[in-house]
């Protein structure tokens, strides 16, 4: 074994340029595919405050057409959201939340105002999304329904507003309106599209800011979305069938106005939300997204593997005389093949390890990588979020397999060389 390793080491040193190009190509291949995989994983993996992602469904939009060929689409009103999603069988918690975060200007005891991300949600919001309470309490259902000016804020916002003072019970100004802090939670990742925020305000059926003006007497549109925590073991399609039936019931109310809803396979799972396929007037097709993602992964693996195979062919052509001499002194064909494949495997392992390390460093240090996920104060993901070991090992394994396969044909051809012709070459 020692002699074999020394032989491989000598062969790699004998052609350093080709060896280094092969090494760098492998590292870049792993780097690129791991960055793409990490971006995908950050958007679908469960982590606080969205540890519920495997059981989370979100209903967010309404699309209505009329007999004249016109249509309208937007978020839900509180009333339409309740008709479509309240009391579904198989749901553990239902929360009515704002369609997204809004930017608000806040000011505390200091003279300087600053901007934060504001999200509205009812009291059930904190039963779905795991925001860790560090001081005070969450607002109650009564406070939410009564639209009391209370708020739950994050630790970093609390420090900027009040410094070292006690946070709960203090009042701050949000868009020139006073709010009282009832609870403080730990900071959360803005990469969580549905559950994140800097300041959380109560919303309920009496919140006029989330409902639009009635259209032909039907209050259908607004700024409301619905987060559904599905019970363990309940199939998502079972929930969607119930919602589709609710849409049909809603159509009976719209029939008098010659209108009807368009059902777009709501509510949506985390993969659909993260892909950006859901919208107010589109029906998402996650199969196309998965197919496109598979094509990208395949290209990132196949193109470097083809290039590495070509490089190996070139390297072996330069070593024909050496291979011929080894064959003339009794080296077997299987030994020739195993040495070439082992050499390629060592380069692949080393390049793969460097590529993986570079991808982790790049993802942690470059916040701009995740700007497309959320443009408001994007936080750096933790290493545990970035690295799903099952996906990581699968990517590395696929790269190793393709590199070994790319080495197999040149190695087989080299082992079949006639010793006399090889020495003459």
Q: Which residue in 196, 36, 237 sits closest to 102, CA to CA?
A: 196
The DSSP element (H or E) to which 321 belongs, if any, is helix 320-328
Sign of the C-alpha dihedral, residues 8, 13, 14, 15? positive
Q: Tell me the per-residue pLDDT of 332-381, one tens digit each, with 9 for 90 and over.
A: 878 877 777 777 777 777 887 888 888 888 877 766 666 544 444 445 56
* Structure confidence at residue 372 (pLDDT): 44
pLDDT of residue 216: 59
Nearest to 336 by CA among 19, 328, 348: 328
Angle in degrees, CA 338, 342, 343, rounded to 5: 120
Calpha distance 178→171 (Å, rounded): 6
Using an 8 Å Cβ cutoff, are 283 and 265 in contact?
yes
Residue 290's pLDDT band, with cuts at 50, 70 and 90, is confident
How high is the mean pLDDT of the chain?
Answer: 81
Using only C-alpha atoms, the chain has a radius of gyration, in whole angstroms, of 30
Q: Cα separation of 61 and 218, whole Å?
A: 15
Q: What are phi and psi of 329, to 5 degrees?
A: -90, 15
Strands 177-185 and 150-154: parallel
Cβ-contact 61, 278 below 8 angstroms: yes
Average the pLDDT over 400-424 and give the result.
Answer: 69
* C-alpha to C-alpha distance for 279 and 302, rounded to whole angstroms: 34
pLDDT score of 375? 44
Q: Is residue 401 over pLDDT 70?
A: yes
d(CA 379, CA 156): 13
CA 379 vs CA 89, 120, 186, 375, 394: distances in Å: 36, 21, 14, 10, 27
Which residues, at least 6 apart from 357, have a Cβ–Cβ distance to it below 8 Å?
A: none
What pLDDT does 388 receive?
A: 63
The pLDDT assigned to 15 comes to: 66
Helix axes 333-365, 320-328, angle to 10 degrees: 140
Average the pLDDT over each of 152-166, 184-198, 282-296, 357-371 and give the range with the smallest value: 357-371
Cβ–Cβ under 8 Å, residues 293 and 40: yes
- Residue 226 pLDDT > 90: yes
Question: pLDDT tens, 55-107?
Answer: 999 998 989 988 787 888 889 999 999 999 999 999 999 999 998 889 999 99
pLDDT(304) > 50 = yes
Q: Which residues pair with 227 in a beta bridge?
A: 58, 95
Tokens describing residue 220: 């259908």
- Yes or no: say if 309 and 406 are a contact pair by the CB < 8 Å rule: yes
* C-alpha triplet 288, 289, 294: angle, nearest 5°: 95
Cβ atoms of 197 and 156 closer than 8 Å: no
Distances (CA, A) of 333 to 8, 325, 336, 424: 16, 13, 5, 19
Q: How many CA atoms lie within 13 A of 413 on its CB side?
A: 14
Is pTM beyond 0.85 here? no
């Amino acid at each position: 074994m020692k002699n074999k390793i020394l032989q491989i080491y000598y062969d790699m040193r004998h052609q350093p340029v080709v060896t280094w190009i092969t090494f760098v190509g492998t590292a870049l291949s792993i780097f690129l595919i791991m960055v793409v995989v990490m971006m995908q994983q950050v958007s679908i993996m469960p982590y606080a405050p969205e540890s519920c992602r495997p059981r989370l469904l979100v209903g967010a939009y309404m699309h209505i057409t009329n007999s004249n060929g016109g249509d309208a689409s937007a978020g839900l009103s509180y009333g339409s959201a309740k008709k479509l999603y309240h009391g579904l069988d198989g749901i553990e918690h239902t929360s009515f939340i704002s369609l997204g975060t809004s930017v608000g200007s806040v000011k505390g005891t200091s003279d300087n105002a600053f901007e934060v991300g504001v999200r509205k949600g009812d009291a059930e919001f904190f039963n779905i999304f795991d925001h860790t309470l560090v001081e005070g309490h969450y607002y109650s259902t009564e406070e939410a329904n009564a639209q009391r000016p209370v708020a739950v804020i994050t630790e970093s916002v609390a420090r900027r507003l009040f410094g070292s003072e006690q946070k709960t019970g203090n009042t701050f100004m949000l868009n020139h309106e006073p709010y009282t802090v009832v609870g403080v939670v730990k900071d959360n990742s803005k990469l969580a599209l549905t559950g994140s925020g800097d300041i959380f305000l109560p919303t309920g059926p009496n919140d006029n800011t989330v409902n639009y003006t009635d259209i032909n007497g039907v209050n259908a549109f607004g700024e409301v979305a619905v987060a559904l925590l599905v019970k363990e073991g309940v199939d998502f399609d079972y929930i969607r069938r119930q919602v589709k039936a609710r849409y049909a019931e809603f159509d009976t109310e719209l029939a008098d106005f010659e209108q009807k809803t368009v059902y777009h396979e709501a509510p949506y799972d985390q993969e659909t939300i993260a892909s950006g396929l859901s919208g107010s007037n589109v029906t998402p097709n996650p199969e196309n997204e998965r197919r496109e993602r598979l094509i990208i992964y395949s290209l990132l693996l196949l193109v470097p593997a083809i290039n590495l195979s070509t490089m190996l062919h070139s390297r072996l052509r330069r070593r024909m005389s050496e291979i011929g001499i080894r064959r003339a002194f009794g080296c077997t064909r299987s030994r020739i093949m195993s040495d070439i494949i082992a050499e390629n495997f060592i380069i692949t392992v080393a390049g793969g390890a460097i590529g993986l390390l570079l991808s982790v460093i790049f993802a942690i240090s470059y916040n701009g990588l995740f700007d497309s996920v959320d443009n408001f104060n994007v936080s750096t993901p933790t290493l545990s979020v970035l690295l799903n070991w099952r996906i990581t090992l699968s990517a590395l394994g696929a790269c190793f397999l393709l590199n070994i396969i790319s080495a197999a044909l040149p190695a087989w051809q080299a082992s079949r060389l006639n010793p006399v012709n090889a020495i003459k070459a």
